[in-house]
Amino acid sequence: MDRIEPKSSGNQAVTLPRPFVKWFAEKGWAPRAHQLELLARAQSGENMLLIAPTGAGKTLAGFLPSLTDLVARGKIPPGSAFTGIHTLYISPLKALTVDIERNLMKPVTEMGLAVTVENRTGDTPQAKRQRQKLNPPDILLTTPEQVALLLANKEATRFFKDLKYVVLDELHSLVTSKRGHLLSLGLARLRKHAPDMQTIGLSATVADPLDLQRWLVPQGETPSPPAGLVHVTGGAAPDITILGTDSRIPWSGHVSTYAIPEVYKEIRRHKTTLIFVNTRFQAELLFQTLWTINEDNLPIALHHGSLDAGQRRKVEAAMADNKLRAVVATSTLDMGIDWGDIDLVVHVGAPKGASRLAQRIGRANHRMDEPSKAILVPANRFEVMECQAALDANYLGAQDTPPVGEGALDVLAQHVLGMACAEPFDPLELYDEITSASPYAGLTWEMYERIVDFVATGGYALRTYERYAKIRKMEDGRWRVSNPQIAQQYRMNLGTIVEAAELNVRLVKRNAKGTLGRGGMSLGKVEEYFLEQLVQGDTFLFAGKVLRFEGIRENECLVSNAFSLDPKIPAYAGGKFPLTTYLADQVRAMLADPDRRVALPDQVRDWLNIQLERSILPKQDELLIETFPRGKRFFLIAYCFEGRLAHQTLGMLLTRRLERAGARPLGFVATDYSLAIWGLNDLGAMIGDGSLSLSDLFDEDMLGDDLEAWLDESYMLKRTFRNCAVISGLIERRHPGKEKTGRQVTVSTDLIYDVLRSHEPDHVLLEATRRDAATGLLDIGRLGDMLGRIKGHITHRDLDRVSPLAVPIMLEIGKENVPGEAQDAVLQEAADELISEAMAP
Amino acid sequence: MNRLGLSPRTMITTAPATEDVLVHGVAAVCDPLGGLYLPETGMLIVSDLHLEKGAAFARRGMMLPPYDTIATLNILAAVIARYDPKIVVSLGDNFHDRRGSEFLPADLRKMIADMARGRDWIWINGNHDPDGTTDLPGISTDELVYGGLVFRHEPSLISGKGEVAGHLHPSATVRRREKYVRRPCFATDGHRLLMPAFGVLAGGLDLNHTAMQGIFARETLVAHLLGRDRIYSVRYSNLMR
């Protein structure tokens, strides 16, 4: 056997089997130091975390321990006893498992290794899944949901008993979501089936590697040492610029249409351009606009999560074959998929987070030693600053990935039921197992018992459902499922990704009589709540076409071609990322520091200079409040820079307080950067004469009673509740024999929320909802941090007219729809029309 | 008390703004709590209570809160207190499934008995509960003709003249500027009236839904939407369609 000594870090000698050495030699490659270090340390029994930029050969590194071990094991002779899987590879994306299978099979075949590799996702046919259970491959490539399904099966012990390695790809993106929570619980169970199995995490750069190192090993009373870390730094620094433009940069908005001609020029200049946007709406609009100026008929495609899966696969295939010149894409293409030779990434709209930017830019040019090329296209003037900040951050290597967070309770409820489906569980043993998963290390016994009770009978104080319990305690103290249907229901409803109710969009033709035809092409799915806002005849952009809304038939949204150039555009609510704390901090620093503003384009600098003449620019830790009259209203602008979600929550709370203070507020609007509130009374004068105190107004105690009172009616809390209700299994997405989705939902979670909140406000599911909301849609945690930070640092400027810095948010007024507020006022207006109609002469 | 704040602690604060309508020449009052009162006959109509919906789901493994029945009955008690009717008609789908009234907990059973004391109580059978009720006061029937009107659960497809029906859970959506609001409603074209669903977990179906087609003369159709403390009446042509 040849021995190859790793060149850089680590002293371990490592043995690469002959086929590997030969293969590397034939390719003219040498194994990289980090690949060998990872192999050596894994072989010595360590759990490992590999942090490396794209193009560093992460995938091969992750599989080397498995492949070498499998080669050593050799082929299993036919007729041997059942052998379970050897390696489990888990990725967040289905597409990634397919991609990895292709990439892994290449060396396996070329080396002639006797290793079987298969993937298993929601798309895998039932027959193949059955066969996999009877005759498992050596390496199974799959998703977190499939792992949960396999674990909830009676055969799980047998299937996983020979497991040696679990390779977790894109770990940085997995761990921060509920999917990551579910997966961490799955890992804890896998360790029970195969106590000696080792984990190998693959990740992009993160803020705190130790979080991931702990995540990979058992926690609990005697936590294992954190996983070993191999950190590959370097790679060529990316070549990032902000798009230079002669056009006027807009004051507000998110669409960047001003820059389309320049973007088109760049597409022409490069081989393959990947254009990232933040929302599906931006994707649709940008794609549409690009085609209106696509004089050369360049092959430009569109890719986002709502499009029909068939369409998406076509785009992906065309990309892999280098048949496309550009693809407009949302986060569905975010993660490490290798497709074709992308030589330019254009990022339209601000990246909202430095890490997200680094990740997306990594898509260009998958060779680590060559610089990736990227162009940022800010949509408005604040975004210019945000892009500049992100650009600085990327050079500095700063990171702002979100923290792993505490394990969600709805996910825990789902898991507990799954474990009962696998086999009866002992409550003490399961508690130890669960708390060995790092997100649940802090779970109290009391909360765990409430969750088990919730799974059994709903966990209500009024105990009327005992006879219908889903799981029951047996005489020996273990819990089992009441009947096989429960397990079937669990399998149909597993998962943590709750889609808004969506309807299929079908393109139909109007015939001569004006009636709608049947059949027609399926274009993808749109959220039901979006369709609820449409009136027949309204037009919107979808799948790159302008469509006319014709109506809803059964579970489908019918549309026809519109031939209109001015669509009413879909306002997908999802996908708008809030500005990260880190980037917000950088934008504030830039505003405060004249030296950092030098890098900004002239028109943006001029704008800030005029602001300095008319008002001030806030210091980094200062909260600037401006007040001014406009029209018949008085405005108050707070420049908080804490992201739209936190600002929305703040807006709701401040209007309540201003109402009490007699300021007669009328409304508010929030952007990522600031908050505007307007009212009938002169807010500036009230602050001036002391009848309104800003420090009282912004006091942290607003997060107490005011928050509670507002939560009573909060539309956002209801949306959070819906997710919790679905994930926890209170509400089923699918019921055996009733597979229809979307509009077939038999009971509204809003109504359940109202009933539960008024009769059992301490219920565990409401607790779960509040916890989620604090970090999610309401961003209460971040708001709390800000209120603490600005204490004693509020500066007020009473102006006689709107300031330059206020213009962007003033332009947003009237565009934002805050649902759930002032509902009866709307009804009143409609009812008045009836009255005036009746009273008309 | 109003339907939007279901808490039993919420007390009746102000007299509600009701709306007077005529159905086939019979005067009726639409109450924002979801009941229809007929002053000439002293009848109170409620429809689609869907009592024990939570329990019905629990039987199938979905543990919805077991508080829907008490919440619905609290509202019913309030509307009965408001009108002190001679007759109460519950217009079908009184229980969410056939077993609902059989398994009704004793304290809730007593609540209904207390409400029914001193007045007539008529359960119209619905499609969810076609077999009538078990151990509850009042009588069960498929249909009632009284005071110039006919009361049945499902609207008839042949003639709707003078019919008061439920079953469809009508709701209506109003859009003004960028805001839209959806509420349960009474719907009447002057000939027939559809009742909003009274049960707190009952939900609604938009007046534009295909299931509503052919029920009303749309030129004269008005939706009386249940607001917080009052009824908002909006002509069909002014609703969002």
Asked if the structure places residue A646 within a domain, the reply is yes
Q: What would the two tokens of residue A493 be?
A: 């409803």
Radius of gyration of chain B (CA): 17
Tell me, what's the pLDDT at B49? 97
Q: Under an 8 A CB cutoff, do A485 and B174 touch?
A: no
Last residue of a domain, one of A747, A773, A799: A773
- Checking if the pLDDT of A468 tops 90, the result is yes
Size of interface A-B (CB pairs under 8 A): 133
List all residues 6 or more positions away from B240 whose beta carbon is below 8 Å from its beta carbon.
A535, B173, B174, B175, B180
Asked if the structure places residue A107 within a domain, the reply is yes
* Residues A556, A476 within the same domain: no
Using one digit for the tens of pLDDT, what is the confidence trace for B54-69? 999 999 889 999 999 9
Three-class secondary structure of residue A61 per DSSP: helix
Tell me, what's the pLDDT at A839? 54
Q: Where are the alpha helices (DSSP H) in A194-295?
A: 209-215, 260-269, 280-292
* Residues A764, A782 within the same domain: no
- Angle value at C-alpha A773, between A705 and A336, nearest 5 degrees: 155
Phi/psi at A504 (5° precision) = -70, 140
Q: How many whole angstroms separate alpha carbon A749 and alpha carbon A769?
A: 13
Using one digit for the tens of pLDDT, what is the confidence trace for A49-104? 999 876 677 888 999 999 999 999 888 888 888 999 999 999 887 777 877 888 88
Tell me, what's the pLDDT at B7? 41
Cα–Cα distances (Å) from A199 to A58, A189, A194, A209, in that order, read 15, 13, 12, 15
Residues of chain A with Cβ-Cβ distance to B180 below 8 Å are 532-533, 826
Tell me, what's the pLDDT at B235? 92
Residue type, A394: N
Number of Cβ within a 10 Å radius of residue A300: 20
Lowest-pLDDT choice from A13-17, A126-130, A292-296, A775-779:
A775-779
Q: Under an 8 A CB cutoff, do A460 and B66 touch?
A: yes
* Residues A250, A373 within the same domain: yes
Tell me, what's the pLDDT at A666? 79
Q: What would the two tokens of residue B35 be?
A: 């009941």
Q: How many whole angstroms separate alpha carbon A499 and alpha carbon A556?
A: 16
**Out of B66, B180, B233, closest to residue A465 by CB:** B66
Contact A173, A205 (CB under 8 A): no
Q: How many whole angstroms separate alpha carbon A752 and alpha carbon A456?
A: 18
End-to-end CA distance of chain A: 102
Q: Under an 8 A CB cutoff, do A465 and B201 touch?
A: no
Last residue of a domain, one of A758, A773, A788: A773
Q: What would the two tokens of residue A650 be?
A: 């703040």
* Residues A626, A733 within the same domain: no
Asked if the structure places residue A488 within a domain, the reply is yes
Q: Under an 8 A CB cutoff, do B66 and A763 touch?
A: no
pLDDT category, A429, cuts 50, 70, 90? very high
How many residues are given for chain A? 841
Share of chain B above pLDDT 70, in %: 90
The mean pLDDT value for A694-701 works out to 89
Tell me, what's the pLDDT at B238? 84
Q: Residue B195: left if φ>0, alpha if ψ -120 to 50, beta else—which one? A: beta
Asked if the structure places residue A277 within a domain, the reply is yes
Strand B222-226 and strand B231-235: pairing? antiparallel
Tell me, what's the pLDDT at B144? 96
* Residues A810, A665 within the same domain: yes
pLDDT category, A461, cuts 50, 70, 90? very high
Last residue of a domain, one of A331, A365, A396: A396
Cα dihedral sign, A530-A536-A541-A545 = positive
Three-class secondary structure of residue B108 per DSSP: helix
Q: What is the DSSP letter of B197?
A: P
Q: Under an 8 A CB cutoff, do B201 and A752 touch?
A: yes
User: Which domain CATH number covers A194?
Assistant: 3.40.50.300
The mean pLDDT value for A439-460 works out to 96
Residue of B nearest to A483 (CA): B61
Task: Give whichever of A18-22, A184-188, A548-552, B204-208 has the largest mean pLDDT.
Answer: A184-188
List all residues 6 or more positions away from A705 whose beta carbon is below 8 Å from its beta carbon.
none
Residue of A nearest to B240 (CA): A535
**Out of A457, A760, A826, closest to residue B67 by CB:** A760
**Across all residues in chain A, what is the average pLDDT?**
82
Q: How many whole angstroms separate alpha carbon B189 and alpha carbon A34?
A: 77
**Cα dihedral value A20, A26, A27, A29, nearest 10:** 70
Asked if the structure places residue A594 within a domain, the reply is no
pLDDT category, B46, cuts 50, 70, 90? very high
What domains appear along chain B, each with residue ranges and CATH number? 19-141+160-238 (3.60.21)
pTM confidence score: 0.81
Q: How many separate domains does chain A show?
A: 5
* Residues A91, A189 within the same domain: yes
* Residues A530, A629 within the same domain: no
Instruction: Please choose, from the candidates A404, A402, A407, the residue with its C-alpha nearest in 3D space to the C-alpha of residue A441.
Output: A407
* Residues A323, A472 within the same domain: no
Top residue of A471, A756, A758, A812 to mutate, by most chain B CBs within 10 Å, is: A758
ipTM: 0.89
Q: DSSP strand E in A206-285: where?
A: 228-231, 239-242, 273-276
Contact A306, A540 (CB under 8 A): no
* Residues A87, A218 within the same domain: yes
Q: What would the two tokens of residue B87 be?
A: 């007759």
* Residues A618, A523 within the same domain: no
Angle in degrees, 0-180, between the axes of helices A94-111 and A58-73, rounded to the nearest 10: 50
Tell me, what's the pLDDT at A156? 95
Number of Cβ within a 10 Å radius of residue A799: 16
Q: Under an 8 A CB cutoff, do B240 and A535 touch?
A: yes
Tell me, what's the pLDDT at A746? 60
Instruction: Please choose, from the candidates A9, A10, A39, A11, the residue with its C-alpha nearest in 3D space to the C-alpha of residue A24.
Output: A39
Tell me, what's the pLDDT at A331? 67
Using one digit for the tens of pLDDT, what is the confidence trace for A581-623? 777 888 888 888 888 888 888 888 888 888 988 899 998 889 9
pLDDT category, A280, cuts 50, 70, 90? confident
Tell me, what's the pLDDT at A707? 76
Using one digit for the tens of pLDDT, what is the confidence trace for A567-585? 655 444 444 456 677 778 8
Asked if the structure places residue A604 within a domain, the reply is no
Q: Under an 8 A CB cutoff, do A752 and B70 touch?
A: no
Strand A48-51 and strand A198-203: pairing? parallel
Residues of chain A with Cβ-Cβ distance to B67 below 8 Å are 460, 462, 755-756, 758-760
Interface of A with B in 499-538 (CB under 8 A): 532-533, 535-536
Share of chain A above pLDDT 90, in %: 33
Contact A17, A112 (CB under 8 A): no
- Checking if the pLDDT of A208 tops 90, the result is no
The mean pLDDT value for A333-361 works out to 70
- Checking if the pLDDT of B42 tops 60, the result is yes
Q: What would the two tokens of residue A12 be?
A: 């371990």
Tell me, what's the pLDDT at A353? 67
Cα–Cα distances (Å) from A242 to A86, A262, A282, A587, in that order, read 47, 12, 19, 16
Number of Cβ within a 10 Å radius of residue A184: 26
Q: Which long-range contacts (CB under 8 A, 24 or more apart) does A568-571 make?
A: A568/A534, A568/A538, A568/A539, A568/A540, A569/A281, A569/A284, A569/A285, A569/A540, A569/A541, A570/A280, A570/A281, A570/A284, A570/A526, A570/A530, A570/A540, A570/A541, A570/A542, A571/A281, A571/A530
Q: What would the two tokens of residue A236 be?
A: 């060529």
Q: A827 in contact with B at a CB cutoff of 8 Å?
A: yes
Tell me, what's the pLDDT at A811? 78
pLDDT category, A37, cuts 50, 70, 90? very high
* Containing structural domain, residue A65: 3-231
- Angle value at C-alpha A260, between A256 and A262, nearest 5 degrees: 120
* Residues A153, A14 within the same domain: yes
Strand A539-542 and strand A117-120: pairing? unpaired
List all residues 6 or more positions away from B144 whose beta carbon is below 8 Å from its beta carbon.
B89, B122, B124, B150, B151, B152
Q: Give the residue with greater pLDDT, A647 vs A743.
A: A647
- Checking if the pLDDT of A337 tops 70, the result is no
Asked if the structure places residue A412 within a domain, the reply is no
* Residues A642, A679 within the same domain: yes
Residue indicated by tokens 């979670």: A749
Q: Under an 8 A CB cutoff, do A755 and B235 touch?
A: no
Tell me, what's the pLDDT at A818? 43
Asked if the structure places residue A405 within a domain, the reply is no
pLDDT category, B106, cuts 50, 70, 90? very high
The mean pLDDT value for B45-50 works out to 97
The DSSP annotation for B117-152 comes to TTSEEEEE--SS-TT--SS-SSEEESEEEETTEEEE
Q: Under an 8 A CB cutoff, do A730 and B64 touch?
A: yes
The helix (run of H) or strand (run of E) holding residue A597 is helix A594-597
Q: Give the residue with greater pLDDT, A553 vs A549.
A: A549
The mean pLDDT value for A191-205 works out to 93
Q: Give the residue with greater pLDDT, A165 vs A551.
A: A165
Tell me, what's the pLDDT at A284? 84
Using one digit for the tens of pLDDT, what is the confidence trace for B168-184? 999 998 876 555 678 99
The helix (run of H) or strand (run of E) holding residue A66 is helix A58-73
- Checking if the pLDDT of A682 tops 70, the result is yes
Tell me, what's the pLDDT at A225? 93
Burial of A103 (0-12, 13-18, 19+ CB in 10 A): middle
Instruction: Please choose, from the candidates A766, A744, A495, A730, the residue with its C-alpha nearest in 3D space to the C-alpha of residue B58.
Output: A730
